[in-house]
Structure 1
Amino acid sequence: HWSSKSAMDIDGLGEKLATRLFDLGFISDVADVYYLEPGQLTPLEGFGEKSAENLVRAIERSKDRPFSLVLYALGIRHVGAVTAGLIATRFGGEDLMRGVEVERLTGIDGVGEVVARAVVEYFDLEDNRDLVERLLERGIDFGREAGSPSEGSLSGKRVVITGTLERPRNYYVGRLEAAGGTFTSSVSKNTDYVLAGEEAGSKLERARELGVPVLDEAGFEDLL
């Protein structure tokens, strides 16, 4: 799966060769692929100097694949290419390594709870984290992909969230970020909206003083 055209697109590294390299002890996981050298491959049946160099070049080129395809290539359960693309525009690999709550992932339009939990559980496992660390060391791209600012209904908007809301705060932060907005912790003249729940307190008062539009949960959802 890792080397397939729809994932890392490593021409020449098919399932049979990968199994052979594994059996020979050359690789034990996908990170080991990036340590292969032509000199290891040339003595193998079916390889010559040129074909070995071509494979190593193909492996090197795969480092240019965007994070969405890297995330898909990891083979996380329930995460297809489209879902990986949605996640990659909101979070980079290092964000996921540090830990992202399920609520923030489900705040991305198109990402459900089953997928979100699968992603969180994957990056919670030490073996998977070690694998990602080794891939990072070899130069694989785990950077968040830039989304188009025009796509989000709240693109460029700064929003403060305060008070007790129906759902956990991270849910609303995720929804906000997925729509292109930015979560800020304090109200100022640069704040575009305040999402206020019950017992909002001083931040709600400050918003009213500055004339910042105040939203309830229904009003917030209407903007998305």
Structure 2
Amino acid sequence: MPNPELRICFDLASNVKGPIQHTWEEFAFRFKLPFRVVNRDADVTISKENGHPLAISSAFCQVLEETGIKHPHPFTNQPLFLCENGSPDYLGTAFYMMQGLQEYPPAKLDELGRYDPSQSYQARFDCFEENLVEKYFKAIVEITPLLNHLVNKDFPSRVFLSQDVDLINAGLRQETFASLKQGKLLQALNIIGAHLKSQPTYLNMQDIMDLQTQHGHSSTFFWLPCHRASIINKLIEVE
């Protein structure tokens, strides 16, 4: 018998409602939970600091307001936003993690000008291998009596692997610079030579697919348009 449709109300400021509703949609999709958004007569109301198990924290709202501004890491003793009464804000935390907000803007860059993972909450709390969003989604089910009766939290999750391919030729500049910075002249020359032979180091899709095959996985490659048609034609030949 299918689950009854849950009526849910988002009593939040407009700049918070959108992100939290999106997170709820991801949560509902994860557990195949039918719902509809209402303005009254709701089964569940999500609002800011209301003492409800699904309350949204002031700390999360502040991070949303400051996105684009360099600010200290928002987590203190654990990778989780807390309401003023000490209760967890699972939905706000899940949005922060799924959208990678800690990278906007990065407080520190690595040697290639990218976000430095050593500054991440994953490094700070040693949770690289934990699926915290899944953990927090299950916690939402556990702390909400109504959901506990509607949702099977042991429903298996699935993983979709994707590869974004954009700047294949950027490796010439980035990797050459990194090699020279580390004093690896021969490695830098090899990178330049590979590019001169139309074998850029970022053109490693076959290596990626071989590695995935070793572990019994596969992924989908997404491409941005490239003016180097010869490279694209070469890749099309890869099975």
The TM-score normalised by the length of structure 1 is 0.25
Choose between structure 1 and 2 for higher RCO, CA contacts under 8 A separated by at least 6 residues. Answer: 1
Between Structure 1 and Structure 2, the one with more helix by share is 1
The TM-score normalised by the length of structure 2 is 0.24
Between Structure 1 and Structure 2, the one with more strand by share is 2
